[in-house]
């Protein structure tokens, strides 16, 4: 169990500290007011905490926000985005290594929440340098921070050598609020963090007791500190977070020195601190303060009431002398030491640099198997496990696991040295996320943002539990890999609660997410070859529980067509089909068998395997038309899922064989008969099309 400690005493600010803190507050107020949109109260309350962290503790080089050894700062309560933008501006964070351009110049502060600005309403990591992760949906940042902490532990355990331990040592700080604490994902992620003893993680809880609806006692009365102590966290308290920088600094120092536990700092603050009529009310939470209230707040701060976007002399210099100088010195020392590390451990250094650059090792795909033709076949979850192990063996930073389902999803890494990631063995590559699908997704997002390549798995039906994190991965353009299995009514006796009907279609609706339903083992292998080089797209595999025939590729087209999302698997003898049979995943075998019957009758038929709509739609129109000729309107589309979306491939007159209910609990063979997934059904639909 964790313990709790109260820290103090109260110490007044220095004049320059006070100016810098109030610059954060007033920039936040002015930006929200000018945008006529946003959340000014949290930045006003959190400014002392954020300033103390950034200018006295955070190991961070503003000249290079991608420095691998930097501490990470996550703003989980992303509605307080102006807090982060003000910090990035005042610290002079640049657009990238070697850039002389500020990530958030004053012009961007003044364009807060405007079209094409770098200061979106909630922070977006792929838009603004210095934003470590995209936050907004509450609690996500806590999960991301846990993922970053896990990745740091793995990196340090994998790459550290005697005398070079500090090369890979960094800390993760995350600010969160009451809303984050109410979300279930915070509980999931924090529970795992306690289990893994992530002492490189500090969670700063803005305990202001206010949400949009009003005081938290409307719906939230638990003892958060006791809850985190029960998770196994070290818990600290700061009672006067709006004024007591000494207590804040003491808590941060304590957190940095704590070993064997993550730290929660419960910081009591007043939201909208200094705004006399709105301080510590929900009115300061989600709307501009108004010119009159801003003038009164500025008067309270001793600020020129008529000046907007004002930064007093000495404030920029204060940040330069603090985080700027400290970060530059630390970065330079790190670079010198890493150069020495490269001399002594060139292979490890090369691996680390490839990982940081998102490059794959030479020969990473050399052990991916080619599966022989087999009428009995193999479930794609099984072939997927084989291919995953072949890839992971040669990509040392591919790590992951399952939401307690690895034996069923076949995602356990079994080669020598893979091991389990636990507190005592942080270099293990098998993650055990526990039954925490939502946190798993957010944790993986944090891991990939720290440059390891994570995968996570579960049953496809439970993608619904992790969907918000999947969506954010797509939004951030990060290459997380999801391995979902039990992809259809093929689940059988488990019944409708476990049979995914609408999940594939709903995942296909997420922009930038690649969804892949391979038809056989070789499509699985080829899919992995196309997936691993991706750097800006998350991927969701949908794999079968049941065995699928491994197609004879000397008779049918090469599975390499998977890389284009869809391809002609079997064609009419003259290459001019009169009917198209289009399927994905396990249903392609039905199309192939129906094709053989039709061809034997002299019908000019074509089978199209369409494992990834996203990849197919990204192909040139000429290629897509060559696979699905617009002039051929007689079509049969088959998928054991909702028919939603298939109209684009079936056309106005084509047939769609799919699911229109939630399924049923029965043996697979009975379900296939009940819902019409048979060769005879596909054949009959094709004959009906031909008669039109």
Q: What is the pLDDT of residues 404-430, one digit of tens each?
A: 999 999 999 999 999 999 999 999 999
The whole-angstrom separation of Cα 455 and Cα 397 is 11
Q: What are phi and psi of 259, to 5 degrees?
A: -120, 140
Q: Are residues 62 and 144 in the same domain?
A: yes
Stated as kind and residue range, the H or E segment containing 592 is helix 588-600
How is 381-419 classified by DSSP, letter by letter? HHHHHHHHHHHHTT-TTEEEEESS-HHHHT----STT--
The pLDDT of residue 84 is above 70? yes
The pLDDT of residue 689 is above 50? yes
Is residue 364 domain-resident? no
> What does the angle CA 354 – CA 359 – CA 362 come to, to the nearest 5 degrees?
85
Q: Are residues 519 and 571 in the same domain?
A: no
**pLDDT at residue 658, as a whole number:** 98
Count of domains forming the chain: 3
What is the arithmetic mean of pLDDT over 103-109?
Answer: 98
Q: Are residues 76 and 29 in the same domain?
A: yes
Eight-state DSSP code of residue 322:
I
* Domain end among 516, 549, 582: 549
**SS3 of 303, please?**
coil
**pLDDT at residue 593, as a whole number:** 98
The whole-angstrom separation of Cα 675 and Cα 657 is 9
**pLDDT at residue 492, as a whole number:** 94
Q: Across the chain, what does the average pLDDT equal?
A: 96
Ramachandran assignment for 446, one of left (phi > 0), alpha (psi -120 to 50 degrees), beta (any other): alpha
**pLDDT at residue 13, as a whole number:** 54
Q: Are residues 255 and 391 in the same domain?
A: no
What is the model's pTM? 0.97
In 3D space, the residue among 533, 589, 597, 529 whose CA is nearest the CA of residue 563 turns out to be 529
How is 594-634 classified by DSSP, letter by letter? HHHHHHHTT--EEEEE-S-HHHHHTS-HHHHHHHS-TT---
**SS3 of 642, please?**
strand
**pLDDT at residue 283, as a whole number:** 79
**Rg (alpha carbons) of the chain, rounded to whole number:** 28
Q: Are residues 462 and 582 in the same domain?
A: no
Q: Are residues 413 and 491 in the same domain?
A: yes
Q: Are residues 173 and 234 in the same domain?
A: yes
* Domain end among 492, 523, 549: 549
Cis-peptide, bond into residue 9, ω within 30° of zero: yes
Is residue 355 domain-resident? no
Stated as kind and residue range, the H or E segment containing 570 is strand 567-570
Among 437, 526, 614, 639, the active-site one is 437
The whole-angstrom separation of Cα 529 and Cα 540 is 14
Is residue 338 domain-resident? no
Is residue 265 domain-resident? yes
Measure Cα distances from 421 to 141, 192, 202, 365, 399 in Å.
22, 12, 20, 24, 9
* Domain end among 329, 351, 366: 329
What is the arithmetic mean of pLDDT over 338-344?
Answer: 98
Stated as kind and residue range, the H or E segment containing 204 is strand 201-207
The pLDDT of residue 183 is above 60? yes
Catalytic residue status for 347: no
- Read off the pLDDT band of 282 (50, 70, 90): confident
Q: Residue 462 maps to which CATH number? A: 3.40.50.970
Task: Give me the half-sphere count of Cα atoms (radius 13 Å) on the Cβ side of residue 645.
Answer: 16
The predicted-structure confidence for 551-582, as pLDDT tens digits, reads as follows: 999 999 999 999 999 999 999 999 999 999 99
Residues 6+ apart with CB under 8 A from 57: 71, 249, 252, 253, 256
- Read off the pLDDT band of 500 (50, 70, 90): very high
Residues 6+ apart with CB under 8 A from 497: 461
Is residue 279 domain-resident? yes
The residue assigned the tokens 């002392």 is 48
**pLDDT at residue 6, as a whole number:** 47
**SS3 of 276, please?**
coil
Is residue 347 domain-resident? no
The whole-angstrom separation of Cα 122 and Cα 135 is 6
Residues 6+ apart with CB under 8 A from 362: none
**pLDDT at residue 2, as a whole number:** 42
**pLDDT at residue 5, as a whole number:** 47
Q: Are residues 136 and 44 in the same domain?
A: yes
What is the arithmetic mean of pLDDT over 42-47?
Answer: 97
- Read off the pLDDT band of 10 (50, 70, 90): very low
Q: Are residues 572 and 540 in the same domain?
A: no
**pLDDT at residue 342, as a whole number:** 98
Burial class (CB in 10 A: 0-12, 13-18, 19+), 653: exposed
Do 254 and 225 meet the contact criterion of CB atoms below 8 Å apart?
Answer: no
Which pair of structure tokens corresponds to residue 670? 């009975």
The residue assigned the tokens 């969804």 is 515
Q: Are residues 543 and 577 in the same domain?
A: no
Burial class (CB in 10 A: 0-12, 13-18, 19+), 96: middle
Is residue 269 domain-resident? yes
Residues 6+ apart with CB under 8 A from 335: none
**pLDDT at residue 204, as a whole number:** 98
Q: What are phi and psi of 574, to 5 degrees?
A: -95, 5
The predicted-structure confidence for 236-274, as pLDDT tens digits, reads as follows: 999 999 999 999 999 999 999 999 999 999 999 999 999
Q: Are residues 514 and 619 in the same domain?
A: no
Q: Residue 584 maps to which CATH number? A: 3.40.50.920
Do 398 and 453 meet the contact criterion of CB atoms below 8 Å apart?
Answer: yes
The whole-angstrom separation of Cα 168 and Cα 154 is 10
The whole-angstrom separation of Cα 548 and Cα 546 is 7
What is the arithmetic mean of pLDDT over 189-213?
Answer: 96
Is residue 297 domain-resident? yes
**pLDDT at residue 284, as a whole number:** 82
Domain that holds residue 107: 4-329
**pLDDT at residue 692, as a whole number:** 85
Q: Are residues 544 and 579 in the same domain?
A: no
What is the arithmetic mean of pLDDT over 300-318?
Answer: 96
The whole-angstrom separation of Cα 77 and Cα 83 is 10
The whole-angstrom separation of Cα 457 and Cα 445 is 14
Instruction: Report the percent of the chain where pLDDT is more than 70.
Output: 98
Do 168 and 465 meet the contact criterion of CB atoms below 8 Å apart?
Answer: no
Please measure the distance between the N-terminal and C-terminal CA atoms of the chain and give it in whole angstroms: 72
Do 537 and 479 meet the contact criterion of CB atoms below 8 Å apart?
Answer: yes
The pLDDT of residue 341 is above 70? yes
- Read off the pLDDT band of 8 (50, 70, 90): very low
Among 278-282, 338-342, 445-449, whose mean pLDDT is lowest? Answer: 278-282
The whole-angstrom separation of Cα 505 and Cα 645 is 7
């Amino acid at each position: 169990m964790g313990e709790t400690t109260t820290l103090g005493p109260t110490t007044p600010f220095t004049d320059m500290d006070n100016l810098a803190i109030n610059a954060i507050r007033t920039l936040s107020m002015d930006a929200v007011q000018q945008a006529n949109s946003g959340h000014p109260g949290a930045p006003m309350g959190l400014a002392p905490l954020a300033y103390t962290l950034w200018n006295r503790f955070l190991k961070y080089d503003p000249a290079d926000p991608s420095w691998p050894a930097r501490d990470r700062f996550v703003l989980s309560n992303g509605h307080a985005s102006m807090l982060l933008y003000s910090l990035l501006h005042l610290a002079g964070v640049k657009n990238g290594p070697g850039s002389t351009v500020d990530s958030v110049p004053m012009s961007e502060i003044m364009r807060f929440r405007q079209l094409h600005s770098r200061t979106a309403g909630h922070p977006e990591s792929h838009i603004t340098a210095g934003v470590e992760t995209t936050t907004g949906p509450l609690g996500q940042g806590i999960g991301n921070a846990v993922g970053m902490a896990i990745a740091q532990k793995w990196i340090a355990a994998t790459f550290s050598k005697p005398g070079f331990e500090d090369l890979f040592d960094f800390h993760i700080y995350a600010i969160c609020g009451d809303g984050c604490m109410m979300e279930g994902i915070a509980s999931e992620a924090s529970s795992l963090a306690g289990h893994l003893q992530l002492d490189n993680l500090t969670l700063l809880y803005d305990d202001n007791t206010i949400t949009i609806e009003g005081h938290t006692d409307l719906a939230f009365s638990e003892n958060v500190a006791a809850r985190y102590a029960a998770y196994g966290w070290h818990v600290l308290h700061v009672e006067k977070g709006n004024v007591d920088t000494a207590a804040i600094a003491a808590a941060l120092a304590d957190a940095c020195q704590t070993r064997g536990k993550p730290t929660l700092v419960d910081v009591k603050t007043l939201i909208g601190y200094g705004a006399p009529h709105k301080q510590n009310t929900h009115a300061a939470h989600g709307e501009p303060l108004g010119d009159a209230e801003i003038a009164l707040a500025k008067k309270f701060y001793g600020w020129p009431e008529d000046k907007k976007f004002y930064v007093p002399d000495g404030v920029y210099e204060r940040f330069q002398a603090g985080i700027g100088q400290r970060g530059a010195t630390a970065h330079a020392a790190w670079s010198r030491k890493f150069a020495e590390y490269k001399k002594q451990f060139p292979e490890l250094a090369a691996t680390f640099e490839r990982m940081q650059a998102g490059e794959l090792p030479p020969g990473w795909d050399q052990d991916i198997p080619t599966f022989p033709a087999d009428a009995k076949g193999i479930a794609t979850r099984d072939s997927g496990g084989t291919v995953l192990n072949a890839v992971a063996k040669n990509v040392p930073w591919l790590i992951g696991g399952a939401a307690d389902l690895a034996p069923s999803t076949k995602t356990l890494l079994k080669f020598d040295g893979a091991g389990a990631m636990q507190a005592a063995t942080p270099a293990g590559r098998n993650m055990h996320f526990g039954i925490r699908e939502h946190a798993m997704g957010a944790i993986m997002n944090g891991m990939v943002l720290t440059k390891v390549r994570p995968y996570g798995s579960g049953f496809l039906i439970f993608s619904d539990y992790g969907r918000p994190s999947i969506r954010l991965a797509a939004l951030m353009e990060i290459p997380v890999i999801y391995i979902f299995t039990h992809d259809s009514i093929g689940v059988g006796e488990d019944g409708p609660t476990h049979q995914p009907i609408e999940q594939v279609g709903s995942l296909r609706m997420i922009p930038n997410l690649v969804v892949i339903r391979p038809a056989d083992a070789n499509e699985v292998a080829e899919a992995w070859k196309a997936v691993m080089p991706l750097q800006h797209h998350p991927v969701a595999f949908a794999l079968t529980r049941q065995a699928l025939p491994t197609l004879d590729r000397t008779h049918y087209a090469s599975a390499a067509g998977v890389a284009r999302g869809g391809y002609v698997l079997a064609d009419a003898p003259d290459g001019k089909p009169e009917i198209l049979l289009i399927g994905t995943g396990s249903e392609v075998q039905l199309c192939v068998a129906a094709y053989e019957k039709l061809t034997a009758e002299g019908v000019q038929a074509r089978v199209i395997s369409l494992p990834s709509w996203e990849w197919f739609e990204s192909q040139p129109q000429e290629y897509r038309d060559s696979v699905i000729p617009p002039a051929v309107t007689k079509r049969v589309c088959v998928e054991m899922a909702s028919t939603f979306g298939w109209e684009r491939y079936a056309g106005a007159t084509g047939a769609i064989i799919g699911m229109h209910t939630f399924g049923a609990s029965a043996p697979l063979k009975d379900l296939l008969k009940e819902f019409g997934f048979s060769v005879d059904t596909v054949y009959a639909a094709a004959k009906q099309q031909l008669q039109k």
